[in-house]
Amino acid sequence: MTSIASPRERLLRAAAELFYAEGAATVGVERLCKAAGVSKRSMYQLFATKDEVIAESLREYGPATVAGYFPDPAADMPPRERILHVFARLEERSGTGPFHGCPFVNTAVELHDPTHAAALVALSFKQRLESYFQQHATALGASDPQFLAAQLTMLFDGASVRAVMRAEPLGGLALRAAGQLLDAAT
């Protein structure tokens, strides 16, 4: 027996998909509700504002986005390969039609307000990525794991933007650059 998604679940799923593909600022409440099959009245009973929907959709779907870049925690991989895995996944995703960059960066840039609830959620996910890099840079024996983690995060974000702006796959550029950063730091 399959479960039927609640109006809240349908709204958040539609929000995550539409905001990623078209931008949170571009997609209006009416379009969002139509895509979710939910009335505007129902949406406003569940969420006070569209801003709340943006923040909650990131909170709800962000973990799966992040997890899609990380290797399985149980995988037998050395720290360097764990870091490079993230860039290999970015390379793969940049070559697909529906790649629109990092949803967290996209949201923060669109909102133009670092104190916005959704921008804070987006920042927390970027901090998770940087913490992941720092953990593995420390295990790798990097001379300054915190600095290397910041560099790798900047590379990830910049490579994502490059792929979107040029509308082309990264072609190994991000993976190669990450390898060079790792070589220089260890």
- pLDDT tens track for 29-52: 999 999 999 999 999 999 999 999
Q: Is there a single domain that holds both residue 39 and residue 107?
A: no
Residue 84 maps to a domain: yes
Closest by alpha carbon to 62, among 109, 6, 15? 15
Domain shared by 107 and 16, yes or no: no
Please compute the mean of the pLDDT values over residues 176-181 and round it to a whole number: 98
Question: Model's pTM, two decimal places?
Answer: 0.90
Beta carbons of 84 and 105 less than 8 angstroms apart: no
Rounded Cα distance, 109 and 102, in Å? 11
The total domain count for the chain is 2
Mean pLDDT, range 105-126, rounded to an integer: 93
Range of the domain at 155: 68-185
Looking at the structure, do residues 77 and 24 belong to the same domain, yes or no?
no
pLDDT for 80? 97
Both 113 and 46 in a single domain? no
Domain membership of residue 113 (yes or no) is yes
**Residue 2 resides in a domain:** no
Is residue 104 included in any domain, yes or no?
yes
| pLDDT at 107 exceeding the cut of 90 | yes
DSSP code string of 41-109: HHHHHH-SSHHHHHHHHHHHHHHHHHHTTSPPTTS---HHHHHHHHHHHHHHHHTSTT----HHHHHHH
Residue 133 pLDDT grade (very low, low, confident, very high; cuts 50, 70, 90):
very high
Phi, psi angle pair for 67, to nearest 5°: -60, -30
Predicted confidence (pLDDT) at residue 3 exceeds the cutoff of 80: no
Residue 2 — pLDDT band, cuts 50, 70, 90?
Answer: low
| pLDDT tens digit sequence for 139-148 | 999 999 999 9
